[in-house]
Structure 1
Amino acid sequence: MSAFMSVFASLVEHLADALDPLFHASATAAAIVLFTACVRLLVHPLSRASARGQKARAKLSPQIAELRKKHSKNPEKLQKAVMELHRKEKVSPLSGCLPSLFQLPAFFLLYHLFSNSSIGGEANTLLDHTLFAAPLGGRWADALSDGGVFGAQGLVYLALFAIVAAVATFNFRRTKRQMAANPQPGTGAGDQPMPGMAAMTKVMPLMSFMTLFTVAVVPLAAALYVVTSTTWSAVERAVLYRDMPAGAGALATAA
């Protein structure tokens, strides 16, 4: 693991050196943004496949509604019937999770790299690199103790919080519109309520705002990854799901 982290640290340093003529002291931060964009490009085929899966599941909605009526008093039969329908139509109910799962290793690499004072037995000099005044190895709590909310470091975090809040608000409004246009089965008038569905319906549009908490507690380098990836996701989903029936992409938007 130590040798692998040394290789990854060297990769970040080489990217930063290449970007130094343009970004100078913030070259390492720019390298992290570029690294995130490369990860998202690699994951993009999975995102497209996920969108195709969501659209395929949307087409199955009338059949699933009939199955819910038929097996309204037998949840086990309903679950088996829905799984059989997915298998028959070659639709994976888990395809929407794959893009997020494949990004986790990249996030944890950055988190680990900028959370340790030494890599491979040598001092981790990347911790001293900055985004403007804020060290990439620092956290929001460190910024608050060094100048407060409106200090030089605090302003960097305020800018990141503003970006995340704007993206989360965009996702929130889009998800609310989709869910209002096409309520999930079990939440409408006359439907048999599904266990936990009402709570999920209320919480789902708010999930995007959880990113604010993540940005506040992880090292700034990892926060940059989260902000860049979240912004990419919002734009990507708006494009990939633009021709989807209203409401069908609500789960994907909140993911």
Structure 2
Amino acid sequence: MDPFAFPPLAALLDTAYAALMTLSATLEPFTAASAALAVVLVTLLVRAALIPTGVAQAKAEQLRSRLAPRLRELQKKHKGDRERLQRETMQLYRDENASPLAGCLPILIQAPIVGLLYSLFLHTTIAGHPNALLAETLWGVPLGSTLLGSLTNGDPAGIIVCGAIVVVIALVGEITRRAFRFTAPAGDTALPAGAGGLLGALQFATAAVAVFVPLAAGLYLVVTVSWTLAQRLVLKRAYPAPRP
């Protein structure tokens, strides 16, 4: 069931759609790809508004890294008493004036915003009228086109433009994987062997999704993953993990 069939959510989606199309109309005198540029600008605006949540996540990751040795000691000391382990863990976080869920709240805050923006690019109709956003073009390719559909229909322009989006997303994923290569702390047996490889492979999941979604959604994804990489690099320097 589509949650945006629920009247209040449908109205919210229609409002976001109207705002995006208004921005597109404003940009039309400056570029033929006004709708594509509007998608990029709105995505940048949303990501900028979510910078505080990214900072909160970076601080939470730094805290978890700093507490990791002490948490491992507690796990070893109380491995046979889960209730005692839970009490001691919560006490450790209280002593640090922190919460083990500190990194979850930013994700919960941004999820509805990102979900709303992403849904704009997946619905062919919004509030009973056609989604004109998907009929707009980028370099002659409708924003409703998909790479899979272009391959099926033999559309060279669609293959090139949509394919380029997928390739850029994959390249950003590879850079992200290398820049944030997962390494388990020494002596940490909580994660199974191969967990680092799995986490690295997940960086390419977005590229796989981009094969099937409309070009407008692909633009949103490529801006999002690029912004996220840049933001993580900056925050990594601002909030470095403690050296062992």
TM-score normalized by the length of structure 1: 0.81
Given that 2:66 and 2:242 are in contact with CA atoms closer than 8 Å, whether structure 1 keeps it comes out as no
Relative to structure 1, is the Cα distance of residues 201 and 116 closer, same or farther in structure 2, using a 3 angstrom cutoff?
closer
- Residue aligned with 1:21, SS: coil
| Distance (whole Å) between structure 2 residues aligned to residue 57 and residue 2 of structure 1 | 39
**1:43 pairs with one of 50, 53, 56:** 50
Residue 65, structure 1, aligned to residue 61, structure 2: no
User: AA paired with 1:128?
Assistant: A
Alignment partner, residue 229 of structure 1:
224
Residue 88, structure 1, aligned to residue 95, structure 2: yes
Total equivalences in the alignment: 235
**2:18 pairs with one of 3, 10, 34:** 10
Relative to structure 1, is the Cα distance of residues 224 and 146 closer, same or farther in structure 2, using a 3 angstrom cutoff?
same
Alignment partner, residue 27 of structure 1:
34
- The offset of 1:76, in angstroms, is 4.5
Residue 52, structure 1, aligned to residue 59, structure 2: yes
Alignment partner, residue 126 of structure 1:
133
User: Any gaps of 5 or more consecutive residues in structure 2?
Assistant: 1-8
Identity %: 34
| Distance (whole Å) between structure 2 residues aligned to residue 122 and residue 203 of structure 1 | 42
Kindly report the root-mean-square deviation, in angstroms, between the aligned alpha carbons of the 2 structures.
2.5
| Distance (whole Å) between structure 2 residues aligned to residue 199 and residue 63 of structure 1 | 24
Relative to structure 1, is the Cα distance of residues 233 and 125 closer, same or farther in structure 2, using a 3 angstrom cutoff?
same
- The offset of 1:77, in angstroms, is 3.2
| Distance (whole Å) between structure 2 residues aligned to residue 126 and residue 9 of structure 1 | 8
- The offset of 1:86, in angstroms, is 1.7
- Residue aligned with 2:76, SS: helix
- The offset of 1:82, in angstroms, is 2.0
| Distance (whole Å) between structure 2 residues aligned to residue 163 and residue 115 of structure 1 | 21
| Distance (whole Å) between structure 1 residues aligned to residue 135 and residue 210 of structure 2 | 19
User: AA paired with 1:118?
Assistant: T
Residue 174, structure 1, aligned to residue 179, structure 2: yes
| Distance (whole Å) between structure 2 residues aligned to residue 30 and residue 228 of structure 1 | 11
TM-score normalized by the length of structure 2: 0.84
Alignment partner, residue 207 of structure 2:
212
More displaced stretch, 207-216 vs 87-96: 87-96
- Residue aligned with 2:97, SS: coil
**1:244 pairs with one of 235, 240, 243:** 240
Relative to structure 1, is the Cα distance of residues 140 and 79 closer, same or farther in structure 2, using a 3 angstrom cutoff?
farther
User: AA paired with 1:214?
Assistant: V
**1:165 pairs with one of 170, 181, 185:** 170
Alignment partner, residue 154 of structure 1:
159
Cα deviation digits, residues 44-82 of structure 1 (max 9, x gap): 111112212222222223322321331234444334322
Residue 78, structure 1, aligned to residue 85, structure 2: yes
| Distance (whole Å) between structure 1 residues aligned to residue 159 and residue 106 of structure 2 | 32
User: Any gaps of 5 or more consecutive residues in structure 1?
Assistant: 249-255
| Distance (whole Å) between structure 2 residues aligned to residue 216 and residue 141 of structure 1 | 6
